[in-house]
A and B are shown apart, each in its own frame.
Chain A
Amino acid sequence: MSVNTNSLQLSDYLEKLPGTTFKRLYQQPSTAFAIFRRMLPHLAKTIVMAMLYMPTPFLISDLEIWVKPNSKRQKDQALATLRSLHIIQSAGPQSMTLTTNFRNSLRLALEGGGDHHSFGVPSTLPVPADVDLGFLDRYARKKWDDILHYVVNSVEYSDMREKDTGGGGPKASVKELLIAGRLVEKRSVATISITQAGFTFLLQEANSQVWTLLLLWLEAADANVERAGMDSVDMLSFLFLLASLELGRGYSTDALTEPRRNMLPYLVDFGLIYIPPHDHQQYFPTRLATTLTSSESSLRSVSAGFLAASEGGISDAGDKNAIILETNFRVYAYTSSPLQIAVLALFCELKMRFRELVSGKLSRQSIRKAVDMGITSDQIISYLATHAHEQMHRLAAAQKKPLLPPVIVDQIRLWQLDTERMSVCPGFLFKDFESVREYEDMANFAGEIGVLKWRNDRKGMFFTNKVEQIKDFMKNRRKAEQ
């Protein structure tokens, strides 16, 4: 099982975009580069790189020779991802090429030529003395923690909320966004409460939280284009540009286009960039921005980065990977961050609290309570996995065992299934096939590209959550038969 909820979200958003949008997006080398780096599985990256400087279309038969026979599934999934992101297109019945814009842009990104300014124009002005990496990290962490606190505190810790908003919570625009995105709901004038989407948001890795918020913002901008005057495609491409900037370097705001300059105040509110108060000529990307497209499980790198920065001075690196889960259902978390403790308390029965350590237990009641609040077992498990202590990672690597004890993972799911015997997923039902062979071909294909949700061989039906590629497959199959 891969715990990769974050890029799913971004990929969902991207998949909804029409092909023309992709054409525009891929005009910018930084965007093509970021999408390559962030959105593609490893094998897909390898295939793209192999095709990048290939003068002729890549024959599918050649690809099949290249890939080992028992990796066919990975190959099909890689191709499916590439197709859905409009990176490859068919160049004939049995061959494929990279789409023109993507190929040109990625080549430009690797070769470093052209005149596109898509990797940011560095500012020539002197850097203010107080702006260094440590400062930027502290700044980004403060901004982001404010947002998270706002969401967490809407659960129950009302006394803390009073205190925190006094100390300066997130800006009103961010609050509006959280409410518009239905991460929190306004119950009355003064109180807000968290929604199920809010729990999902909380339990994600930091990087996917950033993306969730940014995507909400994009959608909000899409919804009222006239008022905001922002184009979501241009915004997205600017976000990818931010991701390719260098941490600790000042970039010139003058070189930006007008709409992009208008985005800056929002990005400051999210903590993605920093603009010195007295000097609006330059902006500094923070670690939240520069790690937007890092492909590994991103919170680990973000928090590792924060950790490295905190060695210099700050002692409370709050959101680090600190959870140890034992096979006897006990949970230990080396943290003193109220945020992380509050999140843990959502699904865990906390028993003891020491300085820098809390310990608790997963139990049927605690999981049921969480499930009743709208948290799913998948979210809990992925939270535990992404925040697992280094020791857990090391042990898992040394003994070649799964990261979390399988017993616990199974049990968490079973506890959830106690109440839910049904799961809902919009999609498409395929039935009434002409022959058993046709059914099997189609169902197996759907399974290989990873869209199959349910199948029943006896009734000859199956159910998928996406249909586009199956359509193509049906067409090709029919053609082949005639």
Chain B
Amino acid sequence: MNRIDASDHYEVTATGQTPSLLVVVLDTNPRAWQALGPTLSISAALANILVFVNAHLAFGNDNQVAVLAAHSHRAVWLYPKSPNNSSPKSSSKKKRFGGLGGDGDVEMTGVNGSSRNTKAAPLGTSANKYPQFAAIESSILSSLQALIAETDSSDIPYTTLVAGALTTALSYINKTALSFAPAKPSSTDPNASGTGNNNGSGGAAAVAGAQQAPGLHARILVVSVSDSAPSQYIATMNAVFAAAHARIPVDTLSLSPHAAPTFLQQAAFLTGGSYAAASLNPRGLLAYLMLGFLPDAEARQHLLQATQDRVDFRAACFCHRAVVDTGFVCSVCLSIFCEPPPADAGCLTCGTRLALGHYGSKPAVVPRRRKKKKKVNGVGGREETGSATGTPAP
């Protein structure tokens, strides 16, 4: 009522919460789950993750979810996948993404086809379940079963293809974000026939707007049980930088006490996501998820996120895919090598001929004559420390 003096200033902003898209990447490496078996079985973990997914969807009608399995050799969509869904808006969207996934990922269509007919039966038979939740649950379970049935037990590596899953997730998020902004002007087209010009410019503005202020808060959650494979370093980091550029936080929950996903730790650090290791008590998975990973971008403005006190920043070299403490970096293309390239070959990535300077030689003990000219604390000191500022974040 203090406004009666009319000195207040009013601003009307668009209300309503921004829809939020959560992509869960579930590590389904059979060996890692086997090792984790006594404390937490995959079915128990999956039940918890389903509750978490439902909780995310419960925030609002517009919230979306996608679930990917990062398997030992490939990434497989668990949800969404089925084109025959009930509501027209979401089904058309899903159809589009189903097609996209089918183009980009050959294996996925196989899983789709096999599970399509099993899906109709469980959906909606219960009056005790929210229809959307039931659909997601049956979809995830059936495609996971299909995935397990397909897995050949003879040849399973210890590592998981997280990079592939991250990349797929990012392309899905990008597609969804695009469909969020310019979809609306195109749908008004038949009604507003006289405004073609207006709509055209509107589309361009929407694309610009999507880059500045996204109409969709997206984030990725990786539930990891296995080690990061050094061989995937480059692919993972490319995905992480893409995510950082698109401002998509990559959260990671590590469950296994035997493994430490170092690259995902870096991913969380670089993208502003949160990282938590539940290795001490994997059974409390749901509590970790609900407390630490449920807040989306809107809630994170108000809440403190769990941060990491120590991040393993070691990189993997490009030549032998081994994690290195000290490496050699090409000054042209910034490739990392664990040993200096042979003198005649040059950089293995870009082919630039590089000179190694005086690496390995003993530092000169005798001070040069110049240093006598009162430059003891000046230039000389600075050369040693290098630049104090870090690499600029994107």
Contacts and interface: CB of A to CB of B under 8 A. Distances in A.
B215 interface: yes
A391 B6 CA distance: 30
B62 A356 contact: no
A110 B192 contact: no
B142 interface: no
A32 B6 CA distance: 41
A121 B290 CA distance: 30
B301 to A, nearest CB: 7
A320 B127 contact: no
A143 to B, nearest CB: 20
Nearest to B198: A391
A74 B89 CA distance: 33
B128 A308 contact: no
A390 B209 CA distance: 12
A308 B127 contact: no
A45 B294 CA distance: 10
A14 B87 CA distance: 30
B8 to A, nearest CB: 9
Nearest to A300: B16
Interface in B1-27: 1-2, 4, 6, 9-17, 19
Contact of B209 (A66, A255, A304, A394): A394
B302 A75 contact: yes
Interface residues of B, number: 70
Interface in A350-409: 354-357, 381, 384-385, 388, 390-391, 393-398, 400, 402-404, 406, 409
A1 B12 contact: yes
B131 A246 contact: yes
Interface stretch (B51-59, B163-171, B345-353): B51-59
Contact of A414 (B6, B190, B298, B301): B6
B129 interface: yes
A254 B370 CA distance: 100
Interface in B178-230: 181, 184-185, 187-188, 190-195, 198, 202, 205-206, 208-209, 212-213, 215
Most A CB atoms within 10 A — which of B55, B88, B302?
Answer: B302
B247 to A, nearest CB: 15
B299 interface: yes
Interface stretch (A88-96, A219-227, A309-317, A430-438): A309-317
Contacts of B59: 37, 42, 45, 295
A319 to B, nearest CB: 12
A37 B58 contact: yes
B185 to A, nearest CB: 6
Interface of B: 1-2, 4, 6, 9-17, 19, 51, 54-55, 58-62, 86-89, 124-134, 137, 181, 184-185, 187-188, 190-195, 198, 202, 205-206, 208-209, 212-213, 215, 286-287, 290-291, 294-295, 298-299, 301-304
9 contacts: A3-B12, A29-B128, A37-B61, A53-B287, A68-B302, A244-B130, A296-B19, A390-B185, A400-B213
The 4 closest A-B pairs by CB, nearest first: A398-B209, A296-B16, A71-B302, A112-B129
